[in-house]
Amino acid sequence: SQTIHQWPATLVQPVGSPLSLECTVEGTSNPNLYWYRQAAGRGLQLLFYSVGIGQISSEVPQNLSASRPQDRQFILSSKKLLLSDSGFYLCASYLTAAGNTIYFGEGSWLTVV
Amino acid sequence: QKEVEQDPGPLSVPEGAIVSLNCTYSNSAFQYFMWYRQYSRKGPELLMYTYSSGNKEDGRFTAQVDKSSKYISLFIRDSQPSDSATYLCAVLYTGGFKTIFGAGTRLFVKA
């Protein structure tokens, strides 16, 4: 079965520090991969998506970046965090057993202080 | 205009009530319609999905799509306290890469 692993699950980072969130997918090959952010009490905002190794599309201009060094690995990074980067970050991929619907990992909670 | 509109609630109902959750969308090109359930501090989980119009039933849950009015609904029968969560609707173009989500409706079912 397809599963998504995300880590770390929770982190508290000071303003101006770097960030690296990692996501790996099991049970599928060449998946579409996505990073979403969910701010407190708000909906899901698509940040980046990737259809293949090294291919990244950015949806929202900001101080975050994404990379896909391997087929089933997706990384979200920042060189200098802002307070506004706080939120719940979710990695997602397509669930091939359920049409074109996407499924999510457990998420990473980021608090920038 | 947002592509998907969803009332954020909160919606509070007594146990056993029928719950109706709704979304509207703006683009008639959307073909996939999904409902996700998200418990506090967890990732959303797919509850139901529908391709094109019509109804789909799964246990106590029924998803309904009315493409003529661009309206999607989720009905929960015999609601339980364990149904308390945020429910997100989502839409997708056929062949599209980007799923678009509503803001989510927070539901509380009181015992």
> pLDDT tens-digit profile of B33-69?
999 999 998 999 999 988 888 899 999 999 999 999 9
Whether pLDDT at A61 is above 70: no
What share of chain A has pLDDT > 90, as a percent?
69
Decide if A32 and B99 are in contact by the 8 Å CB cutoff. no
pLDDT at B58: 94
Token pair 């839409």 is found at B91
pLDDT for position B75: 97
- What average pLDDT does this structure show over A46-66? 90
User: Do the chains contact at A95 and B46, CB–CB below 8 Å?
Assistant: yes
| B11-14/B105-110 β-pairing | parallel
The whole-number pLDDT of residue B9 equals: 87
**A97 pLDDT higher than 70:** no
The whole-angstrom separation of Cα A86 and Cα A37 is: 9
Q: Is A1 on the interface with B (CB under 8 A)?
A: no
Contact assignment for A98 to B46 by CB distance below 8 Å: yes
Within 13 A of A29's CA, how many CA atoms are on the CB side?
A: 0
Give the per-residue pLDDT at A112.
96
CA B39 to chain centre: 14
Q: Which two tokens stand for residue B64?
A: 């309904």
Inter-chain touch B103–A106, beta carbons under 8 Å = no
Alpha helices by DSSP H, listed for B4-109, are: none
Residue type, A80: K
pLDDT for A28 equals 83
Residue entry with tokens 């057993």? A97
Tally the residues of chain A. Answer: 113
Q: Nearest CA to CA, how far is B105 from chain A (Å)?
A: 10
Query: Is the CB of residue A99 less than 8 Å away from at least one CB of chain B?
Result: yes
Work out the minimum CA distance from A99 to partner chain B, whole angstroms: 8
**CATH match of B4-110 with 2.60.40.10:** yes
Residue A98: pLDDT band with limits 50, 70, 90:
low
Q: Cα(A46)–Cα(A66) distance, rounded to whole angstroms?
A: 12
Count Cα neighbours of A40 within 13 Å in the Cβ-side half-sphere. 6
The domain limits of chain B are 4-110
Domain ranges of chain A: 3-112
Class of domain A3-112: mainly beta
- CB-defined contacts A:B, below 8 A: 55
b/e burial code for range A46-67 (CB count within 10 A of at least 16 → b): bbbbbeeeeebeeeeeeebebb
- State pLDDT tens for residues B56-108: 999 999 999 999 999 999 999 999 999 999 999 999 887 777 889 999 999 99
Mean of the pLDDT values across residues A62-71? 93
- Residues of chain A with Cβ-Cβ distance to B101 below 8 Å are 43-44
Which amino acid type is present at position A5? H
Q: Is it the case that residue B14 has pLDDT exceeding 90?
A: yes
Average pLDDT, chain A: 90
